Structure 1
Amino acid sequence: MKIIFNPPDNKENQYINLMVAPLRASGFEIYALDDFFSSYKHFKSIDLVHLNWFENVDDSSFFVALRSFFRKMVVLLAIRLFKKPLVWTMHNRSSHEKGLRFFSRTLNKLLIKWADRIIIHSHISRHILIERNAQVASKIVYLPHPNFIDVYGPILPGSNDSSGILNLLFIGVVKPYKNIELLIKLAKEFKTDLILTIAGKPASEKYGRALEEIGKDAENLNLQLRFIEDTEIPDLFREVDLLVLPYDLESSLNSGTVILAFSYGKTVICPLIGTLDDMQEVHEDILTYRYNGKKEHEAVLRRTIANAINLKKAKNDIFKEKGVRLFHYVQQRHNNQQIGKELISIYKSFKQSVKKEGKTS
């Protein structure tokens, strides 16, 4: 089969490569969406289109958003008119971009309506989709999010630090919906009890400068506002106790960074997003929480961080123990080989249905 898998790569994390690798190994031909209209022969040869994050629209300006929206509409209409099987992976509850949401909402509705299969990475996604369109239930397929075990390098042993100071890490693209300002504010409050490292490239230079200004007088803050190379990840994880990911529940649903943390034997402080809601068996090993509104988020996150500080003071190795259990959990429940087999099965079902239709006619 010849497949359009969009995006064909993602420098910010290895999710795309993990999903595509078993397809290539099984003989699938993978092409980029940019080449979809390169020639009529190529367009006609494509057996299936799989879209990720396609509903997101660059909202840096109205004209940029309009152009992005128009181009994506052309792609969706072409897929629809020429009856190309369409697979869409639902990654977020809604687009993280706050401005010009009409464009992303429209694309989201069309993807839900026109997709032949909708892949979800958390079970709560099914309920969200059915609330939006009850007719889509039969085309929803659950696949676990792939794990990142050894993807960025091996787990490195940390030092036997017995200081009792909590070492927190935020890693990922630094965007406003991830509540980095709140994280810096709380780090200042616990200045003698924790060290916070924020590692990742800001969404814009302006946003990066604003965060530097907010955190300029915090001695316990380590700002690494830059693109983090894959090879740096094991070293960043080496000395931290756990990750802190105070996501916005309005748009957040799944988190590859949560799976990354567990893949490297670290637990997390994080709201109860879909990824964590699925992991009932290991909830005792995760510092998760709920909130309603920004004010409550601050209060609940403050209590959760204070709880983590107290847990480490009571037992220095407690987060290592939790991390080991979470590592084994994602190793078994988020097995990349099995995920690859299930994805291939989804794709082949379209090929089989085409053959059946041909025999019937």
Structure 2
Amino acid sequence: MKVTVYPHSINRGDIRTNPYINDFIHALKQNGVSIANPPHKNPLFSLLPMKTDSDAYIFHWLENVPDYKYGLLQTIAAIWLIARIKLKHKKLVWFLHNKQPHLAKHKYLKNLLIGLLLRKADLIVTHATEGIETVKKLYPAAVSRVIFLHHPTKNRLGDDNLTPVPPEADLLIWGNISRYKGVPEFMRFATEKQLPLQTKIIGKCSSSDLYEELAPYTGKRIVLENRSITFEELKKEIETSRFVLIPYAAESILSSGILMDSLSFGAKVIGPNVGSFRDYAEEKLLKVYTFDTFEDILSIVRNECEAIHIENYRSFLNNHSWEKFMQQFCQLLITNHSSLS
């Protein structure tokens, strides 16, 4: 089977880059699937002159293209590409990662693309059960084409049990800092309420203006390091933090790579009561806790003192590996392709 995957960008080794697509493509290849489109600095425009000889076209975050350079042209290109795929009777797969795009601008163009994907996708994959409800609200006729597959992850625990380390922070927030991730709102809240929790934030701010906005909220209880973090360092930070806090805005988020990567190191996680956070709060193998408002966070930290069970985490991570996820997904591709032939 041959597939085209968007976005397939040139990997320049930037540790801030979301590794999901590279892992996704690698796992496809491991399952014997051929990738039709090579990596390109313009992952959408580069698809336009290509022959439609793929069995399936797999789109991630296509609804975000209005935010990119030449956003209007990219939107037109995306619409034309979808039309050509359907005209050639090829399979179209859309991964629904978020309830809506994180950035509020260009709503008309984004809604246009979302509506088109809902109507034309042969298969819609979501990593959170709430994604099914999202599709039901947006376009009920598409619900029969939606399937939930757990967000794939990696087991970074190693073979040895975790050795308890005295915590240096109550809360660790990590990853690139953008406005939709709720970090500014949490820092403001923690400062105004004098939240008695030691919070360490390590992440590169999306702009110098954002860093300057956050800097006044730092102090004895809130430390902000405006830089990217490697996974090697993240492991040590998680070991010396009681919880990883993911203060995302609940309006847009469904699934989270930050959540899965934190769990891969054995973290106890606090996140908003939505999407995959809600799903995994009900997972008995994990220690994931949810908040409805920031007011809930202090009581969670004070009351949830039970340590993780390393073998439970190991079992969860192994059961939701990239290998097992891709085996499930490829079976769906084969089944769906047969039904279209």
TM range (shorter): 0.7 to 0.9
Partner of 2:320: 334
Does the 8 Å CA contact 2:169/2:242 hold for their aligned counterparts?
Answer: yes
Partner of 1:235: 236
- Per-residue CA deviations over 1:142-192 (Å, capped at 9, x if unaligned) read 2111013229x8999566327xx6431111221112211222234436879
> Which whole-Å CA distance do the structure 2 matches of 1:250 and 1:82 have between them?
36
Q: Secondary structure at the match of 1:55?
A: helix
Does the 8 Å CA contact 2:125/2:147 hold for their aligned counterparts?
Answer: yes
Q: Which moved more, 1:189-198 or 1:102-111?
A: 189-198
Matches within 5 A, 1:1-361: 1-8=1-8, 12-30=17-35, 31-32=37-38, 33-34=43-44, 35-39=46-50, 43-59=51-67, 64-150=70-156, 160-161=165-166, 166-188=169-191, 193-212=196-215, 214-216=216-218, 218-279=219-280, 280-282=282-284, 285-290=287-292, 297=293, 301-308=294-301, 310-311=302-303, 318=306, 321-322=307-308, 324=310, 327-328=313-314, 330-331=316-317, 333-353=319-339, 357=341
Which ranges in structure 1 are unaligned for 5 or more consecutive residues? 291-296
Question: Matched residues, percent identical?
Answer: 22
Whichever residue aligns with residue 20 of structure 2, its letter is: Y
Whichever residue aligns with residue 176 of structure 2, its letter is: V
Does the 8 Å CA contact 1:243/1:268 hold for their aligned counterparts?
Answer: yes
Q: Secondary structure at the match of 1:46?
A: coil
- Per-residue CA deviations over 1:178-227 (Å, capped at 9, x if unaligned) read 21122223443687943222222222232222222x334x1232222223
RMSD over aligned CA atoms reads: 3.0
Does the 8 Å CA contact 2:154/2:321 hold for their aligned counterparts?
Answer: no
> Which whole-Å CA distance do the structure 1 matches of 2:160 and 2:217 have between them?
30
Whichever residue aligns with residue 289 of structure 1, its letter is: F
TM-score (norm 1): 0.80
TM-score (norm 2): 0.84
- Return the index of the structure with the highest Cα Rg: 1
Does the 8 Å CA contact 2:57/2:90 hold for their aligned counterparts?
Answer: yes
Does the 8 Å CA contact 1:113/1:136 hold for their aligned counterparts?
Answer: yes
Which of the pair is proportionally richer in helix? 1
Q: Give the superposition deviation at 1:288.
A: 0.9
Does the 8 Å CA contact 1:144/1:333 hold for their aligned counterparts?
Answer: no
Which ranges in structure 2 are unaligned for 5 or more consecutive residues? none
